[in-house]
Amino acid sequence: MTTSRFALPDVGEGLTEAEIVSWKVAPGDQVGVDQVIVEIETAKSLVELPSPYAGTVDALLVAEGDTVAVGTDIIAVASGTPEQLAAPLRTPAQAAAPNEVQVREPEEQTEERSGAVLVGYGVDARAKSRRSQRTASHGSQVPPKEAVAAPVKPPIRKLAKDLGVDLARVAPSGPSGEVTRDDVLRAKQQVSVFRNVETPEWPEDREERIPVKGVRKATAAAMVRSAFTAPHVSVFVDVDATRTMEYVRRLKASPDFANVKISPLLVMAKAVIWAVQRNPTVNSTWTDSEIVVHHYVNLGIAAATPRGLIVPNVKDAQSLSMRALAGSLEQLTITARDGRSTPADMADGTITITNLGSFGVDTGTPILNPGEVSIVALGTIRQKPWVVDGQVVPRYVTTVAASFDHRVVDGDVASRFVADLASVVEEPALLLD
């Protein structure tokens, strides 16, 4: 038997350290090559690391919550001879009963935490439980036990109860036929952030100290750099969004958009792409020597997570149809909410949308995402008195705001861009070719 140690690698971002978030294995567990053994957090994202070795976990060398430098040994794996490693991994129980399947029960997380909130789509009610390891007698994966015995996990049942969703009427989409939380959210057909059902008691401790590290530390540095480097200027306009709300309702009822998340954010995303084409300099990057105007749109959507603000983006959004863009936004939502946005998901953004309306906020002055010169804020859409042809009538009204880097975007371009956004929100038919 030999013992191999696995050092924390550079995951391709040139970062120098990472936090050990959660171990997926424990001492004594058998692991195979490429099996996920640990989840780490870098300054940009959560990353799952696979094992480069097959064998038995000898020791976990770093505790959960610790931040260690790249190159630090984090786990030791004891391995046998090459002939032993070539054979299927078997536990002592499997050796005694070769025809039986050995199943290790999942470790349920007792700590409840909120999931990532993608602005405009809502919040995950509870974090997922840790994965269980299930190994068949021939080394293959067997279906999850809960998929057979319980098609809906307790957190999903609670979410459905909180939202008033009848699970018997929810169509499952999970890989094993189980109902997922996204199935519940679709059934509810709402895009606002889900408020806490209960108000917690005041903690006994008078203060709580939260270490500034990982994504939050990187985000804080980026926001300070952006705020005090780029001269911000903001523009606002109130808009009659009644036709946008009607358009959204029609899309939801259309068979062409079945099983796709539809919200006013989709219309705003298309509006931004259209307005960028008409005002190209808002989709630029400033350098000390030149302004780089991008003739493509990597559309960022601001996401607030427990670990800090992230901005994953839809690559080449200008080339997507309305349905394809809706699907991309939904997938971006799920990935961000699960904390699985990769550095590649957040790299090379060209312009960003932040949907303040999901919190019931009318407007704001957003700070630019570093490397970009424009960011758009969509406020809440609600019925208000509005003058139409000299008559005061109830209409769905929202406020569209945008901040710009004044080194690149002059006032006239900023105003035309925001006016174009308002035009689409007032009349989505402008998007039709």
| Three-class SS state of 130 | coil
Structure tokens at 388: 């139409």
The residue among 49, 58, 52, 50 whose CA lies nearest residue 77 is: 58
Query: What six digits make up the tokens of 150?
Result: 């319980």
- CA nearest 49: which of 15, 80, 75, 79? 75
Alpha helices, DSSP H only, in 279-384?
Answer: 322-337, 343-346
How many angstroms separate the CA atoms of 373 and 231, rounded? 10
Q: How far apart are CA 189 and CA 33, in angstroms?
A: 42
Is-contact 347 295, C-beta < 8 A? no
Which is nearest to 29 in space by CA: 73, 62, 78, 81?
Answer: 78
* Active-site residue identified among 138, 232, 294, 406: 406
Dihedrals φ, ψ of 51, to 5°? -80, 135
For 128, phi then psi, to 5°, come to: -75, 150
**Separation between Cα atoms, residue 90 and residue 102, nearest integer Å:** 9
Can you say whether the dihedral through the CA atoms of 168, 164, 117, 253 is positive or negative?
positive
Distance linking the first and last C-alpha atoms of the chain: 68
Q: Is 406 a catalytic residue?
A: yes
294-311 as b/e, with b when 16 or more CB fall inside 10 Å?
A: beebbbbbbbbbebbbbb
The C-alpha atoms of residue 250 and residue 405 are separated, in whole angstroms, by 37
Q: Residue 52 in 3-state DSSP? A: coil
Neighbour count for residue 211 (Cβ, 10 Å): 10
Q: Which residues are catalytic?
A: 406
